Homo-oligomer: A and B are copies of this chain.
């Protein structure tokens, strides 16, 4: 059992510091160069999906199930077979789904932009005409969500994350009393960055919210719906659309998903699911902004995966490829930092991240130390609205993109930086 840093005498810490600094110097000389700031699939994951590039060629049939020529204009809200596939991934039904281009982030941006310019529904006030609009942001969370709401001048309120989802007591209270709160960001399964999955109770309470604002919507970014690290024992979350219907709140939620981390990051397909009433407003905007999305790519996805089982087979391959990377990081963190009481970290069952909690006031310095040694991590603070992590503790680790060898070396460097900064911190006292 290692001795916690905080229980060590000053001289011990000074000695340790000298030793760590020496090691850091040596590591720096090795000249690492690695950008692991984003949750990007690794090259081996991309290589594992290349068969998709062979299902459509010059000899293929490009007719959709419903008889559309996928090469021409039309089918504005997606081809039926792609709606079915995306519905299966989200756990909902095809008639609730619109299939877009390659980016679910763009759908979310468009959605907020639409509400800002035209209102959530025809009978609600466009947000640009309101004094203030507020948004609930479970944090740590996804920086790109926060960037969208920030861009529209929406005031973001931090909601703490619990082990089974965001703090529902706070959320229920806030939305019931404040009409200016118009939405909440949620990553319900394997949340970014903590890998937390919402319990059935959290999903049901979310679906049963009684917001003061009639135009309040849950932005349910189901980004990791099938991204289990152990596909034989997937975490299952409730279908939010059904839960909302059961709670008498059918229009409360917009759900989003994409195949960016199933097929190709950037050349996947993305979708939104919502109630018929919500879809009516959405289709009205769509009908002005486009004649239709890339249906050939939609068809390519369906022809390759065929159905949800096909998707799950691909996700098993991914799991085989990325589980060793997650395990390597977790083992090194345990080996290097276990018992030292200078940090805690999540052990996710899926998704793309490990979330690390450093000692207070240490996250920025740790990330800076890593960068100085050639490893770019996600900016400290990025996981909180306005990039402001109030205690400066959270660091997002993205193990998927580097090779196993690289991630192993990086995790060691990271642990070293954590130790170094923590010792400095303790010596300040």
Report the Cα distance A74→B50, complex, angstroms.
19
Task: Give the complex CA separation of A126 and B151 in angstroms.
Answer: 13
Residue contact A267 to B105, C-beta cutoff 8 Å: no
Partner of A266, one of B40, B72, B113, B152: B72
Q: A73-113: contact bitstring with B at CB < 8 Å (1 yes, 0 no)?
A: 11000000000000000000000000001110110011001
| Segment of A212-220, A288-296, A386-394 engaged in the interface with chain B | A288-296
Note all chain B residues with C-beta closer than 8 A to A260. Answer: 73
Task: Indicate with 1 or 0, residue by residue over A251-275, a CB within 8 angstroms of chain B CB atoms.
Answer: 0000000001000111100000000
Point out the residues of chain B lying under 8 angstroms from A151, CB to CB.
Answer: 118, 285, 288
* Inter-subunit contact A72/B41 (CB<8 Å): yes
Assembled-state Cα–Cα distance A7/B257 (Å): 66
Is A22's beta carbon under 8 Å from chain B?
no
- What bracket does the count of chain A residues touching chain B fall in? 35 or more
Closest CB in chain B relative to A314 CB, distance in Å:
14
The residues of B that contact A289 with a CB separation of less than 8 Å are 105-106, 109-110, 148
Q: What residues of B have a CB within 8 angstroms of the CB of A59 in the complex? A: 50
Q: Which of B128, B264, B296 lies in contact with A267, CB distance below 8 A?
A: B296
Type the 1/0 row for A106-129, where 1 means its CB is closer than 8 Å to any CB of B: 100110010011100000001011
Judge if A283 is at the interface, Cβ distance under 8 Å.
no
Residue-wise interface mask of A (356-378) relative to B, using a CB-CB cutoff of 8 A (1 in contact, 0 not): 00000000000000000000000
Question: A12 an interface residue at 8 Å Cβ cutoff?
Answer: no
What CA separation (Å) do A53 and B60 show in the bound complex? 9
Point out the residues of chain B lying under 8 angstroms from A102, CB to CB. 101, 293-294
Does A157 belong to the interface (CB within 8 Å)?
no
Q: Is A38 an interface residue (CB 8 A)?
A: yes
Asked whether B288 lies within 8 Å of A40 as measured between CB atoms, the reply is no
Task: Check A17 for interface membership: any CB of B closer than 8 A.
Answer: no
* A197: B residues at CB distance < 8 A: none
Contact of A266 with B291 in the complex, beta carbons under 8 Å: yes
Within 8 A of B (CB), among A28-47: 38, 40-41, 43, 46
Contacts of A118 in B (CB 8 A): 151
A265 to B116, CA, bound (A): 30
**Which of A50, A54, A72, A151 has most chain B Cβ within 10 Å?**
A72
Q: A54 and B58 in contact (CB under 8 A), knowing A116-B117, A266-B296, A289-B148?
A: yes
Q: Does A71 contact B (CB under 8 A)?
A: yes
In Å, the complex CA distance between A109 and B286 comes to 10
Out of B73, B101, B293, which one reaches A40, CB within 8 Å? B73
Say whether A147 faces chain B, with CB atoms less than 8 Å apart: yes
Interface check A67, CB cutoff 8 A: no
**Which residue from chain B places its CB closest to the CB of A110 in the assembled complex?**
B289
Which B residue's beta carbon lies closest to that of A296?
B267
Does A336 belong to the interface (CB within 8 Å)?
A: no
The residues of B that contact A128 with a CB separation of less than 8 Å are 116-117, 126, 128-129
Q: How far is the CB of A41 from chain B (nearest CB, A)?
A: 7
Tell me if A383 is interfacial: C-beta within 8 Å of chain B: no
Complex Cα distance A264/B71, Å? Answer: 6
Decide if A297 is an interface residue (CB 8 Å cutoff). yes
- Please judge, given known A-B contacts A116-B117, A266-B296, whether A69 and B46 are in contact too, CB under 8 Å: yes
Q: Could you tell me if A106 and B53 are in contact, using CB atoms closer than 8 angstroms?
A: no
A58→B113 CA distance, assembly (Å)? 38
Contact call B148/A266, Cβ cutoff below 8 A: no
Contacts of A46 in B (CB 8 A): 69, 71-72
From B51, B53, B106, A290 is in contact (CB under 8 Å) with B106
| Ranked 10 nearest A-B pairs via Cβ | A109-B289, A50-B58, A267-B296, A128-B128, A73-B265, A46-B71, A102-B294, A267-B294, A101-B101, A71-B264
| Residue positions of A touching B, CB distance < 8 A | 38, 40-41, 43, 46, 50-54, 56-60, 69-74, 101-103, 105-106, 109-110, 113, 116-118, 126, 128-129, 144, 147-148, 151-152, 260, 264-267, 285, 288-297
